Structure 1
Amino acid sequence: MGQHLRTGRPTRAEAIELEQRLREAALEVFSERGFDGATMEQIARAAGISKRTLYAKYPDKRELFAKVLPWAMSTLNWDEPRLDDAGADLPAALLAIARTAVARAVDPQVARLTRIAMGEAHHFPEFAEAAHSMTWSPRLRSVVEVLERHALAGTVVVDDPELAAEQFLAMVSGFPAMLAAFGLRRDPDDEERHLEHAVALFLDGVRTR
């Protein structure tokens, strides 16, 4: 790719476009070569900018990587499940949340970023906390809200809704996410069977006796 040269101070739109192009190029290089194998020169070339421009924005590779991965994770939207009457039907609500959680877990881009984060965790221990806030928190909130509603109605007994929500998500999406990290995915019918079984098992543990 040729160098994008210009004179004078870039406009705001140009600066935004440059940053977007730079982050996408850095993500691609880090994906292909890993943190240790990637170089600032390779990233500058992929972005079509000079090394001088790159170093002016990011003084070293570590700072660039620490910015790029959380940014990439934050751009992946999670489709909130559509819950009839705010989750009044508990089994249907949990199954809807489970389906969207698994769909995100096995998304190729999510799996790709997960592999990068796991591979470089020894360099960036802070990614563990960031990954939790960017991938688990939105889903946790949905499950917690449904469980709290049904606990108030007396249909379930849940002493710690957040802990129960985390355990539920681990049941439904933990193993599919691990498979996706290795480039594997269950057959859709088989995945649905596993989801229905996990939801039923979870409900057996929280329903009022």
Structure 2
Amino acid sequence: MSDSTLIATQNAFRRGPGGRPTRAEAERRHRALLDTAARLFITRGLDGVSLEAIAEEAGVAKRFVYARYRDKGDLFADTLRRLIQERLSFIGSYEVGPAPVDQGLQAFAEMLEVAATQPEALALYRLVITELHRFPALSSLFVDKMRLNVLGSVTRVLTTYQTRGEVHFDDPVMATELFVTLVVQGARGRALVGIPETPAEMRRRTEAAVRLFLDGYRVKVP
């Protein structure tokens, strides 16, 4: 089969009646568009890339983009929504093991800290903070996703230990916010300004954060 025949055959499978892309092909193009938009927004910022440049690099027609998004701001918001969902999905599937609460929360805290300090996570955080004033809707998007995907999952973990009788709190949401603040905020802040840390230093700080949290919420044995 010649190259031209092969290409024609591939295109035939990718298009439905009337020459329009099949649903599977349209979804593939949309994923390519969002992947490309995420990479370019993170590396260049919102002002550093045009909608046309994103479309060209993603290999899709401009009309394909405009059929789905009114403007670059719309694409930006949808890209962030997808990034947040993908980067935080692992927290939602986290399962509490049989280890005691101090060991279990230590492992969980280390996982959260690593996720928050990955280069792409830091770049995403900077991007959101930078653009919030221009896109107020991003604030509710970011907060909603954080509460649903992160804080909600952390609350689920903490209440599991409460059900087991190892910790007690009257306000699960407040306990969750305190736990995340202790575990994530300091590590992310240091990473954002480029303060290096060894794995041993990170572990020592995480242990201190978990210990401080449990000092306030651990069930006291008579």
* Pairing partner for 1:186 from 185, 190, 197: 197
Contact residue 176 and residue 185 of structure 1 kept, 8 A: no
Deviates more, 1:7-16 or 1:132-141: 132-141
* Pairing partner for 2:143 from 117, 132, 142: 132
Cα offsets for 1:113-168 (capped at 9, x unmatched): 11211111112223233333434544434543454355456554412122111101
Amino acid at match of 1:203: L
Q: Does 1:83 align with 2:93?
A: no
2:123 — aligned with what? 112
Change (3 A) 1:81 1:188: farther
Which residues of structure 1 form unaligned runs of 5+? Answer: none
Change (3 A) 1:39 1:145: closer
Q: What percentage of residue pairs aligned between the two structures are identical?
A: 34
Aligned residues: 203
Change (3 A) 1:171 1:37: same
Partner SS for 1:36: coil
2:38 — aligned with what? 27
Calculate the TM-score normalised by the size of structure 1.
0.83
1:48 — aligned with what? 59
The whole-number CA distance in structure 2 between the counterparts of 1:172 and 1:143 is 12
Q: How much has 1:99 moved relative to structure 2?
A: 1.1
Deviates more, 1:129-138 or 1:194-203: 129-138
Partner SS for 1:110: helix
The whole-number CA distance in structure 2 between the counterparts of 1:19 and 1:143 is 31
Specify the structure having the higher radius of gyration (Cα).
2
Contact residue 109 and residue 183 of structure 2 kept, 8 A: yes
Contact residue 33 and residue 55 of structure 2 kept, 8 A: yes
Contact residue 143 and residue 165 of structure 1 kept, 8 A: yes
